[in-house]
Amino acid sequence: MKVAMGQFAVAREWQRNAQTCIQLMQQAEQAGAALLVLPEAVIATDIQDSGLAVREAQPLDGPFVTQLLSASRQSALTTLFSVYVPDGPERAINAQIAIRDGEIIARYDKLHLYDAFEMQESKRVTAGEAIPPLLEVSGMKVGMMTCYDIRFPELARRLALDGAEVLVLPAAWVKGPLKEQHWEVLVTARALENTCYLIAVGECGPRNIGSSLIVDPLGVAIARAAEGPALVFAELDAQRIQSVRHRLPVLANRRFNRPELKV
């Protein structure tokens, strides 16, 4: 399966961001990709105004998503990204959606909110309450996570046990001391410990690192972006997953699913 990572810097104006997303969708489809992953919170952002993203939140039938759905009609490309949707006065939900052929085919509300490194996403954002669904793309099962979720290995493991062969992670990974190293270590670990592919796409720009990354089931980085806007492609191989899981059967060798184990 050919996949694409669409890395860009999210602007203040939702109209501009919608156009960027649509252009990346068109380019990915023209290149033959079956799956495109975009960053987190792509409607609007401003590093000088931390509340802008929530104030600009739109319902999923609002103009931003509607434009992207319209652009996806009669296309087999599956595109994933996250957006803030309203959840009452001054609050929103960080919702990741998958769209294909003019429809929203899956939704996941971010479970783990970024209350760390002197930031507090929960101040304005309501956490999700449900395990993400799996969706199928070109015969491969895909699990959804969002940004800070990568620091919680139990979510990736649950998705792998549910059958995920590919994990996707739209993100806006904030710069800081050793943060690029955290990103690479965590993305690599979640792929390797679950013997799956992981597609992690970060927003770039003045606040965030970019550095989008695809890691294979043995922890090998097979595609990367640098710090600027980019559209990067890679091929995912279902046989590679089967081969790795045969040689490294960590999912089958788990002990915590054994009733005789005392914990």
pLDDT tens digits for the chain (263 residues)?
999 999 999 999 999 999 999 999 999 999 999 999 999 999 999 988 988 999 999 999 999 999 999 999 999 999 999 999 999 999 999 999 999 999 999 999 999 999 999 999 999 999 999 999 999 999 999 999 999 999 999 999 999 999 999 999 999 999 999 999 999 999 999 999 999 999 999 999 999 999 999 999 999 999 999 999 999 999 999 999 999 999 999 999 998 876 665 54
pTM of the model as a whole: 0.97
Backbone phi, psi, residue 246, to 5°: -75, -40
Quote the radius of gyration of the chain (alpha carbons, Å). Answer: 18
Pick from 55, 142, 59, 120: which is nearest to 95 by CA?
Answer: 59
Catalytic residues: 40, 110, 147
The Cβ-side half-sphere exposure at 79, using a 13 Å CA radius, reads: 33
Fold of the domain spanning 2-247:
Nitrilase/N-carbamoyl-D-aminoacid amidohydrolase (3.60.110)
Buried b (16+ CB within 10 A) or exposed e, 62-89: eebbebbbebbeebebbbbbbbbbebee
Task: At 211, list the tokens.
Answer: 């550095």
Report whether 33 contacts 233 (CB < 8 A): yes
